[in-house]
């Protein structure tokens, strides 16, 4: 199985390795999942119709604009995410309107869906999606509490990282790659049927989302590494560090989605991908 939260990577897979698409996780990206939930669960809580809600995502990634426009990312004539601004565009907007961030009063995030975990924070770094998944997989499979949450083998700036995680009855072989050059190395193995890995994370951008194409111009590897370190510091300092322990998510499933991978969860949180023979066109 391969991760599917990097739209640049997904598009690359659809165009260059279409015979391997069945290996892609059907899970939408966090952005598209949130958009789908905002226009269903949140709409229900707020007494609104989906058409009365405009979802705006601030992303470090230019390819998120492409993802939001995909016809698979919506239903009943509306999109999960209506507007995507890159972080660079947000900076320009803040400067244009003369907004002084330091003078804004602090406030809590909206509820529900305002609470995040350390596992969510590290999604932005190469290896972070893998580590977040492993924290949950280990506990769900073993039934034991994972005391040491850091999976150091999947961290760092190496182009391809490998690790083995021992679970009851088997070892799981994993790989993490960032940049499409390294993705091609991994995918050539998969295509030939000689890949030794069970689970593969791929990010299109150097360093992961922290090095996205929508970030400020002039980003260097030194800056990317500092951003990566900042995400891991956020993770260490948050009281909840495992995705499945997020009480907002637990309530979401209990009150609205039902069981994970159930019918409603599959409808809203999952999608499908397909071979691309010609450029996408969007209305």
Segment 53-106, tens digit of pLDDT: 999 999 999 999 999 999 999 999 999 999 999 999 999 999 999 999 999 999
Across 9-32, average pLDDT: 96
How many distinct structural domains can be found in the chain?
A: 1
Residue 274 lies in a domain: no
Segment 181-209, tens digit of pLDDT: 999 999 999 999 999 999 999 999 999 99
Residue 131: pLDDT band (50, 70, 90) is: very high
Q: What is the pTM of this model?
A: 0.93
* Residue 265, pLDDT score: 97
Residue 39 lies in a domain: no
Residue 40 lies in a domain: no
Q: Which tokens sit at 236? A: 């260490």
* Residue 278, pLDDT score: 65
Percent of the chain clearing pLDDT 90 (strictly above): 91
* Residue 281, pLDDT score: 58
Residue 84 lies in a domain: no
Domain span including residue 17? 7-28+109-269
First-to-final CA distance of the chain: 32
Residue 58 lies in a domain: no
**What CATH number did the domain enclosing 243 receive?**
3.40.950.10
Q: Which of 45, 61, 114, 19 is nearest to 255 (CA)?
A: 45
Chain-wide mean pLDDT for the chain?
94
Torsion, CA 109, CA 112, CA 114, CA 117, rounded to 10: 150
Residue 119 lies in a domain: yes
Which H/E stretch holds residue 59?
A: strand 56-59
Residue 97 lies in a domain: no
């Amino acid at each position: 199985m391969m991760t599917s939260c990097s739209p640049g990577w997904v598009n690359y897979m659809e165009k260059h390795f279409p015979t391997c698409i069945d290996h892609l996780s059907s899970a939408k990206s966090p952005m598209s999942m949130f958009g789908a939930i905002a226009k269903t669960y949140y709409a229900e809580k707020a007494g609104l119709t989906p058409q009365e809600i405009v979802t705006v995502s601030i992303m470090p990634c230019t390819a998120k604009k492409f993802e939001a426009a995909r016809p698979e990312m919506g239903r009943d004539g509306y999109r999960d995410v209506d507007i995507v601004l890159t972080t660079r565009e947000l900076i320009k907007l803040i400067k244009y309107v003369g907004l002084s961030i330091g003078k804004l009063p602090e406030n809590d995030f909206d509820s529900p869906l305002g609470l995040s975990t350390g596992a969510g924070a590290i999604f932005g770094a190469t290896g972070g999606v893998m580590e977040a998944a492993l924290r949950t997989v280990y506990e769900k499979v073993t039934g034991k509490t994972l005391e040491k949450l850091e999976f150091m083998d999947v961290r760092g700036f190496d182009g391809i990282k490998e690790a083995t995680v021992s679970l009851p009855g088997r070892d799981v072989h994993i790989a993490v790659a960032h940049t499409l050059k390294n993705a091609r190395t991994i995918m050539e193995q998969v295509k030939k049927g000689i890949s030794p890995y069970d689970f593969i994370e791929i990010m299109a951008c150097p360093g992961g989302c922290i090095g996205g194409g929508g970030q400020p111009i002039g980003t260097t590897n030194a800056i990317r590494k500092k951003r990566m370190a900042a995400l891991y510091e956020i993770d260490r300092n948050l009281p909840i560090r495992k995705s499945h322990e997020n009480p907002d998510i637990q309530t979401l499933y209990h009150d609205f989605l039902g069981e994970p991978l159930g019918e409603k969860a599959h409808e809203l949180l999952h999608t499908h991908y397909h071979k691309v023979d010609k450029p996408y066109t969007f209305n």
